[in-house]
Amino acid sequence: MLARARDRCSTLAETGHLFQMDVTALQFSTGSFDAAVASFLFCVLPDDQQTPGLRELGRVVKPGGLIRLLEYVRPKGRLRRAVSRVWQPWISWAYGASFDRQTEQHAVNAGLEITESRYVVDDLLKLLTLRTVAVN
CB 70 within 8 A of CB 40: yes
Domain positions in the chain are 2-131
Query: At residue 90, what is the residue type?
Result: W
Q: What is the pLDDT of residues 1-30, one digit of tens each?
A: 778 877 777 776 666 778 889 999 999 999
Edge-to-edge, what's the strand order for the sheet holding 113-121?
Answer: 33-39, 61-72, 125-131, 113-121
Q: Is 2-131 in CATH node 3.40.50.970?
A: no
Q: The whole model's pTM is what? A: 0.84
- H or E element, residue 7: helix 2-8
Q: What is the pLDDT of residues 42-85, one digit of tens each?
A: 988 888 999 999 999 999 999 999 999 999 887 888 888 888 78
